[in-house]
Amino acid sequence: MRSLPKESPGENRLQHDLTDLLARVARPGRYVGGEFHARRKPGATPRIVLSYPDVYEIGIANSGLQILYAGLNDATPAAAERAYCPWPDMATLMRARGVPLWSLESGAPVHEAALWGFTLQHELTYTNILEMLDLAGVPLHVAERGEADPIVLGGGPGTANPLPLAPFFDAFFVGEAEGRLAEIVAALEAPTRAQRLGRLGAVPGVWLPHASGGRAVATGKSGATMAGNGRVERQVFMGFAHTSPVTEPLVPLIEGVHDRAVIEVMRGCTAGCRFCQAGMWYRPVRERPVAMVVEAAARALRSTGCDEVSLISLSSCDYGGVREAIAGIRERFPHVRVSLPSLRVDSAAVVLARLGDEQRGSVTLAPEAGTQRLRDAINKRVDEQAFAAAVRGVFGAGYSGLKLYFMVGLPDETDDDVAAIAAMAESALRNAREAAPGRSRISIAVSSFVPKAHTPFERAGFAGEAVIRRRQELLRQRLPRQIRVRFHDVGTSLVEATMAMGGREAGALIEAAWRGGARFDGWSESFDAGIWRRAAAEVGIELGGPAWSSTEALPWRDVDPLVDDGFLRDEGARAVRAETTADCRDGSCTSCGVCGGEIEMELIR
Partner 1 sequence: MSWWLVSFRRDGPARYISHLDTMRVVQRTFARAGIELALSQGMRPKPRLSLPLPLPTGAAGLDELAVVEVVEESAAALLPVRLAALRAAAADGLAIERLVIAGERPRPQAAAAAYECRLDAPGPAVDEALAWFAGQPCVSVVRQSPKGRRAIELKEYVCELSASPCDAGTKLAFTLRYGPGGSARVDEVVAALAARLEIEPVVLDLTRVRVTWQGLPSRSFAATDEIAPDGHVRGQRR
**Chain contacts with partner 1 (rule: CB under 8 A):** 1-6, 16, 19-20, 22-24, 27-29, 31-36, 38, 251, 253-255, 259, 302-307, 359
Answer yes or no: are the C-beta atoms of 105 and 50 closer than 8 Å: no
Sole binder of ligand SF4 in the list 93, 467, 595, 603 (CB under 6 A): 595
Burial grade of 309 (CB within 10 A; 0-12, 13-18, 19 or more): buried
Nearest to 520 by CA among 26, 94, 125: 125
| Between 1 and 44, CB nearer to partner 1 | 1
Say how far apart CA 10 and CA 586 lie, in whole Å. 59
Which part of the chain contacts ligand SF4 (CB under 6 A), choosing from 222-230, 353-361, 444-452, 592-600?
592-600
Q: Is residue 284 involved in binding ligand SF4 (CB under 6 A)?
A: yes
Nearest to 483 by CA among 536, 440, 420, 438: 440
Q: Is residue 283 involved in binding ligand SF4 (CB under 6 A)?
A: yes
Which part of the chain contacts ligand SF4 (CB under 6 A), choosing from 3-11, 334-342, 509-517, 584-592?
584-592
Residue 447 CB, nearest approach to ligand SF4 (Å): 26
Q: Which residues have C-beta within 8 Å of that of residue 13, sequence separation ≥ 6?
A: 107, 108, 109
270 binds, among partner 1, ligand SF4, none (CB under 5 to 8 A by kind): ligand SF4
Q: Which residues have C-beta within 8 Å of that of residue 213, sequence separation ≥ 6?
A: 227, 229
In three-state secondary structure terms, 504 is: coil
Sole binder of ligand SF4 in the list 171, 543, 594, 604 (CB under 6 A): 594
Say how far apart CA 115 and CA 135 lie, in whole Å. 16
Answer yes or no: are the C-beta atoms of 409 and 474 closer than 8 Å: no
Q: Is residue 270 involved in binding ligand SF4 (CB under 6 A)?
A: yes
407 binds, among partner 1, ligand SF4, none (CB under 5 to 8 A by kind): none
Nearest to 201 by CA among 218, 213, 191: 213
Question: DSSP of 571-586, one letter per residue?
Answer: HHHHHHTT-----GGG
Q: Is residue 372 involved in binding ligand SF4 (CB under 6 A)?
A: no
Residue 6 CB, nearest approach to partner 1 (Å): 5
Which part of the chain contacts ligand SF4 (CB under 6 A), choosing from 31-39, 240-248, 413-421, 590-598?
590-598
| Between 56 and 487, CB nearer to partner 1 | 56
| Between 244 and 591, CB nearer to ligand SF4 | 591
Nearest to 360 by CA among 402, 310, 304: 402
> From residue 516, how far is each of 6, 137, 512, 534, 573 by CA, in Å?
38, 19, 6, 8, 41
| Between 364 and 590, CB nearer to ligand SF4 | 590
Say how far apart CA 329 and CA 150 lie, in whole Å. 43
Number of helices and strands (H, E) in the chain?
A: 19, 19
| Between 260 and 488, CB nearer to partner 1 | 260
Answer yes or no: are the C-beta atoms of 547 and 498 closer than 8 Å: no
| Between 6 and 486, CB nearer to partner 1 | 6
| Between 101 and 512, CB nearer to partner 1 | 101
| Beta-sheet pairing, 151-155 with 115-119 | parallel
Say how far apart CA 395 and CA 405 lie, in whole Å. 17
414 binds, among ligand SF4, partner 1, none (CB under 5 to 8 A by kind): none
Say how far apart CA 148 and CA 314 lie, in whole Å. 40
Sole binder of ligand SF4 in the list 222, 443, 580, 590 (CB under 6 A): 590
What are the beta bridge partners of residue 364? Answer: 403
**DSSP at 43:** T
Say how far apart CA 175 and CA 282 lie, in whole Å. 8
394 binds, among ligand SF4, partner 1, none (CB under 5 to 8 A by kind): none
Residue 518 CB, nearest approach to partner 1 (Å): 28
Say how far apart CA 280 and CA 278 lie, in whole Å. 5
| Between 304 and 581, CB nearer to ligand SF4 | 581
| Between 190 and 603, CB nearer to ligand SF4 | 603
Nearest to 404 by CA among 544, 379, 557, 420: 420
Q: Is residue 32 involved in binding ligand SF4 (CB under 6 A)?
A: no
Residue 566 CB, nearest approach to ligand SF4 (Å): 12
Answer yes or no: are the C-beta atoms of 110 and 103 closer than 8 Å: yes
Residue 333 CB, nearest approach to partner 1 (Å): 11
Which part of the chain contacts ligand SF4 (CB under 6 A), choosing from 46-54, 525-533, 540-548, 587-595?
587-595
| Between 140 and 584, CB nearer to ligand SF4 | 584
Answer yes or no: are the C-beta atoms of 478 and 296 closer than 8 Å: no
Residue 556 CB, nearest approach to ligand SF4 (Å): 20
Residue 22 CB, nearest approach to partner 1 (Å): 6
What are the beta bridge partners of residue 487? Answer: 446
Count of CB atoms situated within 10 Å of the CB of 403: 16
Residue 2 CB, nearest approach to ligand SF4 (Å): 55
Q: Find the largest Cα–Cα distance for the chain.
A: 71
Residue 265 CB, nearest approach to partner 1 (Å): 23
Say how far apart CA 450 and CA 41 lie, in whole Å. 42
Nearest to 338 by CA among 355, 362, 324, 351: 355
Q: Is residue 584 involved in binding ligand SF4 (CB under 6 A)?
A: yes
Residue 373 CB, nearest approach to partner 1 (Å): 42
33 binds, among ligand SF4, partner 1, none (CB under 5 to 8 A by kind): partner 1
Nearest to 319 by CA among 295, 299, 293, 301: 293
Residue 285 CB, nearest approach to ligand SF4 (Å): 7
Sole binder of ligand SF4 in the list 291, 351, 537, 589 (CB under 6 A): 589
Residue 268 CB, nearest approach to ligand SF4 (Å): 8
| Between 260 and 380, CB nearer to partner 1 | 260
Residue 428 CB, nearest approach to partner 1 (Å): 25
Residue 314 CB, nearest approach to ligand SF4 (Å): 13
304 binds, among partner 1, ligand SF4, none (CB under 5 to 8 A by kind): partner 1
Which part of the chain contacts ligand SF4 (CB under 6 A), choosing from 105-113, 289-297, 394-402, 594-602?
594-602
Q: Which residues bind ligand SF4 (CB under 6 A)?
A: 270, 283-284, 584, 589-595, 601
